[in-house]
Chain A
Amino acid sequence: MMTSISKILKSQKVILMCSIILGTLFIISIFAPWIVPNDPIAVNLAYKLQSPSWDFPLGTDHLGRCNLSRIIYGSRISLGFAMLIFISSLLIGLIIGTFSGYKGGWIDHILMRFCDGVMAFPSLILILGLVGIFGPGLPQVILALMLVQWVYYARMFRGMVLSLKEQNFIAAAKISGSSQWKIIKNHIVPNVLPPLVIMGTLEMGWAIMDISAMSFLGLGVQPPASEWGAMIHEGKSYIRTNPELMLYPGLMIMVVVVTFNLLGEALSERFGIKRRF
């Protein structure tokens, strides 16, 4: 406890450790079909609510499904879709923000007022409103999360482009006859991307939490597919007899979110980037 926490964060070890944990999880989720001991959605009531055994390393749930297999398959949804949301909202934000900042004028004005409008509301209310209208389901939740998230990236990209635009090397590129598209592609994007990827790491934790919260409410992943939030929802009826049903998936969410947050903070401390949202 003697060394300060920010010093620990700055050290290579945290970044390395978090990367190893997340890397392992990603590999496990990619190769899930070959790793899982049992079929995650095979119902077998004869084996329901069993304690851990060789066949079922973490026991079974109320329908006799293997808990470990379900958790492993759940990581595919959480990690995969959080990644999808992150990359797609980053791309949309990158395109619109760069365009808006580079062009300026009335296009910029309209786009930014729109972003202000979306940012004026708490994001979860917008997401819930969208899901409420389009109906429960994973695609709707993903779409809603993306629609809410790109706005923040667009704003940030725009701000960075605005400050970059005034720099000498852009003027030099212009004078030497580079096309607008080439300037954006070769000079602006490479400069704005790295800090955003770091901040995106922090956002991954946020996206994973939101996906599982939606599934917990029954609005996201629909049964029988396994997802951590949905597993907590299913396990809650057995809290008196089999608390582990809701304990394991919750622990997984927490570990992943903590790792992403830690990695994001460590990276931003190391590279001296301030969080903007």
Chain B
Amino acid sequence: MGTYILKRISSIIPVFLLAALLTTGMIHLSPVDPAEAYLTAAHIQPTDEMLAQKRHEFGLDQPFFIQYVNSIIKICQLDFGISYISNKPVWDEVIYRIPATIQLALGSLFLAVVVSVPLGFLAGVKKGSAVDHFSRLLSFFGASIPSFWLGYLLIFFFSVKLDLFPVEGTGTWQHLVLPSITLALPLIAMYTRLLRASILENVQEPYVLFARTRGLKERTIMAKHVLRIAISPMITGLGMNLGKLLTGTIIVETVFSWPGFGRYFIEAIFNRDIPVIQCYVLIAASLFILSNLIVDLIQMYVDPRISRKEGQHR
């Protein structure tokens, strides 16, 4: 088990190095010169001399490999450079905005789990019932509605027509409701489907038959045995979707004027604020890698067979 954890942790290093390579290489692929972008953002008329000086300051005159190593060292020190627009360290700006995004992500994750676990469970246990049909309809439409449009629909009905929730902004729990629903619906769609399929699969396992012959109540079998095992693919789904959740916040934050990291990133794209773009891509990638790792470790804890299976494969 120890070696499995070590192996799993060491496997994220190459992915991280690749992410750093991509973000360092980005500048060179871009048609925009960072030095020029910086000076334009500062409203300074660029001269050749100033451009050369800025390039030297950014380390762009060094060989690519040196730049790459330097950027990795800087990333490890959480130094993502200085925003061209605000002239403050990017990391400070990010730290200031990230709590709002996390709040939104957690809110919708909570909602998604609270809705999809009972719904997926009931749909799986009572296959073909009204609940099952409802869950399939919900997961079909949840996956097909563009979230930016759903956001405006919710605003139109609940804020403009019924005046129940604020249109945009943050502060109270009411502000969190509509953005969370918007962000959660695609997740609900996916998790409900996952859990339903997993329950249907597990119900046919021999241990269910055994539990029945032992004379356990159907309710106990389903709630205590089947659900516990069937929920495992959902945990994987949760981890794999954290990246999607993060990108989803970009759109939802834009719709609801939520002052988070995602909106900051979109503004950075328009302002050509390259350090911020690099920082976002890197943080998003790291978060994605880390969440997958954590999910794997949780899975291993829940179901120790996994680490043994992996060991056999390699």
- A residues sitting closer than 8 Å to B (CB atoms) are 1, 4-5, 117, 120-122, 124-126, 128-129, 131-136, 205, 209, 212-213, 216-219, 229, 232, 236, 239-240, 243, 246, 249-250, 253-254, 257-258, 261-262
Bound-state CA distance A37–B47 (Å) is 52
In the complex, chain A residues whose CB is within 8 Å of the CB of B247: 122, 124-125, 128
Q: Are B251 and A216 in contact (CB-based, < 8 A)?
A: yes
A–B Cβ pairs within 8 angstroms, 11 of them:
A121-B243, A125-B285, A128-B281, A133-B274, A134-B30, A239-B152, A250-B146, A250-B152, A254-B145, A254-B146, A257-B146
In the complex, chain A residues whose CB is within 8 Å of the CB of B64: none
Contacts A129-B23, A217-B250, A232-B149 aside, 15 further interface pairs with beta carbons under 8 A come to A121-B288, A125-B281, A129-B281, A132-B280, A133-B277, A135-B31, A136-B270, A209-B146, A213-B147, A239-B152, A240-B160, A243-B160, A250-B146, A257-B146, A261-B140
Nearest chain-B residue to A129 (Cβ)?
B281
* B2 on the A face (CB < 8 A): no
Q: Are A250 and B26 in contact (CB-based, < 8 A)?
A: no
How close is A228's CB to chain B, nearest CB, in angstroms?
9
How close is B278's CB to chain A, nearest CB, in angstroms?
8
Evaluate whether A133 and B26 lie within 8 angstroms (CB atoms) in the complex, with A120-B18, A122-B288, A257-B146 already known: yes
In the complex, chain A residues whose CB is within 8 Å of the CB of B27: 133
In the complex, chain B residues whose CB is within 8 Å of the CB of A122: 243-244, 246-247, 284, 288
Q: Are B128 and A4 in contact (CB-based, < 8 A)?
A: yes
Q: Are B269 and A250 in contact (CB-based, < 8 A)?
A: no
How close is B17's CB to chain A, nearest CB, in angstroms?
10
Q: Are A128 and B269 in contact (CB-based, < 8 A)?
A: yes
Bound-state CA distance A104–B26 (Å) is 31
Bound-state CA distance A117–B21 (Å) is 11
Question: Number of A-B pairs whose CB atoms are under 8 Å?
Answer: 125
User: For window 125-157 of chain B, which residues contact chain A by CB distance below 8 Å?
Assistant: 128, 130, 133, 136, 140-141, 143-149, 152-153, 155-156
In the complex, chain A residues whose CB is within 8 Å of the CB of B19: 121
Bound-state CA distance A126–B274 (Å) is 15
How close is A82's CB to chain B, nearest CB, in angstroms?
13
Evaluate whether A131 and B160 lie within 8 angstroms (CB atoms) in the complex, with A120-B18, A121-B285, A217-B250 already known: no
**Complex partner residue of A134 from B31, B141, B156, B250, CB under 8 angstroms:** B31
**Complex partner residue of B18 from A117, A249, A253, CB under 8 angstroms:** A117
* B268 on the A face (CB < 8 A): yes
* B6 on the A face (CB < 8 A): no
**Complex partner residue of A1 from B31, B130, B268, B288, CB under 8 angstroms:** B130
In the complex, chain A residues whose CB is within 8 Å of the CB of B288: 120-122, 125
